[in-house]
Each structure stands twice: as C-alpha cells, then as structure tokens.
Amino acid sequence: MVGSHKVKKVASDAVAFLEVLDTAGVVADLSNQVIDQSSKAKDIGLVEYDKVISPELQELMTQARVTRQSVSAELYFVKNNRSPKLYISARATLLSEELVILLVEDRTEAKRLDETRRDFVENISHELKTPISAISLLSEALQVALDDPAQVKKFAANLQRESKRLGALVTKIIQLSRIQAGDLKGEIAVFDLGHVIDEAVELNQFLADSKGVRIAADTPSGIMVDGDSELISMALKNLIENAVLYSEANSNVGIGLSVVDGFAEVAVIDKGIGIPVEHQERIFERFYRVDPSRSRDTGGTGLGLSIVKHAANNHGGEVTLFSKPNLGSTFTFKIPIHQDHQSEDDK
C-alpha cells in the first residue's frame, strides 16, 4: 500500500513537471496501465480506459521497460475516425523500477511544412528543367546553323524568349518563397489602393497594347489600406496580366474598386477563355495550370495566382473567383481597409 502510494506520488510529480514544460506525457505501470497524464496528453486524447490508445505507443513503452533504455519513434496517431490524423514523435523511458514515462510531441504542422517545402523544391527543379534544356538545345542548333543567317535569327529570338521565361520564373520563385516565409521586405504603411491599382495597370499597358486588349479601370482614390504596397502591387499586376493574357484580341478588361463591409475589393474582370469549374479551386496552387501548353505559350509560370493568394492572406484578406468557360473570369481581391478610415465611414 505504501509502495503504491509512493508510485503514485512519483507519477504525479513527473506529470506536474510535464505541466510546467507544457508537454504531452503519460506515466504508466508495469502492465502499461496509465497512472497519470498531463493536460496536453488529454488534449491529444492519448489515453482511453487507462491505456494508451495506440498499439505502437504501448509497444514503445514495453520496449523501454524490457531494454531499460530510452526508445523513440515517429508515427501517425489517430484517436478515432472523427479526429484528425496526427504525426507524432514519441519517446519512452523508465522513470523508476515500476514506472515508465511516455513523452509525445505533436509534429503534424512541422511535417506538413517539411513536405510543402520538399514539394516546392521538386516542382521548382521540374519547372526550371524545361527552359534550361530548351536553351541548351537552341544554343547547339545555333552553332550548327552559323552559315544560315535566317536560321540564326530565328534561334537567337527563341533563345531570348526562353531566357526571358527562365528569368521570369526565377523572379516569381524568389517572390513566392519570400512571401511564404512571411519575409515581407517592403514597408508596412497606409497607402491609397487606387493609386497602386493604377500602377499595376500601367505595368501591363504594353502587354495589353501589343495584344489589342483595352484596360478600363475605375479606381477612385482615397480608399486607404494597411500593408506592403509593393506586394499588393505585384499581386494586382499578376491578376491584370492574367486577365489580358487569357483574353482574345480586341476585348476589354475591366477593373473596379469599392468598399464592402470594411474590405476594399478590387475586381479584375475579363471576357476571356474562362476557367472550368473543376479547376477553379486548384488554380491558386503553385505551378497549377489549367492547360499547361497554352500557359507555356503565354509565358506562364503557374505561380502568379499563388502569389496573389498569399499576398491577400498575409494582409488578412482573400481572393475569390467567379468564372465561366468562354464567358470570362472575375477575380476579386479583398483586404481590410485602414481602421481610421473605417471609423470615419461609420460616422
């Protein structure tokens, strides 16, 4: 009895320590019966009917006891089919002759980030390969065609196009990884959104003129927002660029700006090819393109909308899409308006 009291005391002291460290952990006896657990362990739902739910975790505790060593593992843990699957790192070790302690760390988010990063790097390598191998082939062709000025001219033009594409891709990759890392170099300040839209239109004017697309922007000044104006400008430039690129010659692209429920909303409207509904959710993913061959013709990277989405999210906003194939698309970019401005409006 005294022994069992002492064991319980050791267990509860250990758990008190885990509470201080804010760690998920359970203390169990020689038959893996849980004696005590920390609040974090309860949050995860590690224990049911005095047993740790996962057979792998029980095995880990047994191993620690048998080998008298600290043992660890990384594994997936699912409490039940209504709970999310967690990726955990677990370590079991002897606490005393009668007790084993199991420490669990939820690494789901870290693993997701790792995977996202790995995917990103894989995608980048894949996307870089296309223009690089085109450049290499073109330069070989150029060497062979030295005596034929017409061919040389053609290959040189293609070479220039491919290297421009490579440059654009690298620039967007850098922009995107910066935004994703939350490393906004630009200054956070209050700025007039209408002016930034005008700038973004200006940056696309040459492209629009060369495609015969007319941009009609209705951008009232005085709608103030907080944030990184450079990043917002980059996002809007991408949206307008897409509207122009995915429109037919002689069509119009419209841009509107208004305030709705405390948010500044920029609508970029085109009457272009539209986006089939099954692709609409995915086009904001990195490197996702509805029609990769067409996108390649337009010099697309599949990164533009991903930058737009991150820019909106980083500013507490969002980007939404309404689109019908062959009728056109409307992208709406919303970010909160500057607070003082909002209260003046409410007066």
Q: Check residue 304 for interaction with ligand ADP (CB under 6 A).
A: yes
The C-alpha atoms of residue 50 and residue 251 are separated, in whole angstroms, by 69
Among the listed residues 77, 223, 270, 314, the single contact to ligand ADP using CB under 6 A? 270
Q: Check residue 127 for interaction with ligand ADP (CB under 6 A).
A: no
Among the listed residues 65, 237, 289, 338, the single contact to ligand ADP using CB under 6 A? 289
Report yes or no: 218 and 233 within 8 Å, Cβ to Cβ: no
Q: Report, in Å, the least distance between residue 152 CB and ligand ADP.
A: 30
Site residue total, ligand ADP (CB under 6 A): 23
Lookup result for tokens 């992208």 = 331
Q: Check residue 302 for interaction with ligand ADP (CB under 6 A).
A: yes
Q: Check residue 213 for interaction with ligand ADP (CB under 6 A).
A: no
> Among 47-55, 111-119, 294-302, 335-343, which window interacts with ligand ADP (CB under 6 A)?
294-302
Q: Residues 229 to 258: which contact ligand ADP by CB under 6 A?
A: 238, 242-243, 246
> Among 34-42, 181-189, 227-235, 265-273, which window interacts with ligand ADP (CB under 6 A)?
265-273
- Give 298-305's long-range contacts (Cβ < 8 A, gap of 24+): 298/245, 298/246, 299/161, 299/164, 299/165, 299/168, 300/245, 301/127, 301/168, 301/169, 301/172, 302/127, 303/169, 303/172, 303/173, 303/175, 303/176, 304/172, 304/238, 304/239, 304/241, 304/242, 305/238, 305/242
Q: Which helix (H) or strand (E) holds 273?
A: none
Q: Report, in Å, the least distance between residue 298 CB and ligand ADP.
A: 6
Q: Which helix (H) or strand (E) holds 152?
A: helix 149-180
Among the listed residues 303, 311, 312, 319, the single contact to ligand ADP using CB under 6 A? 303
Binding site for ligand ADP (CB under 6 A): 238, 242-243, 246, 270, 272-275, 283, 288-291, 295, 300-306, 329
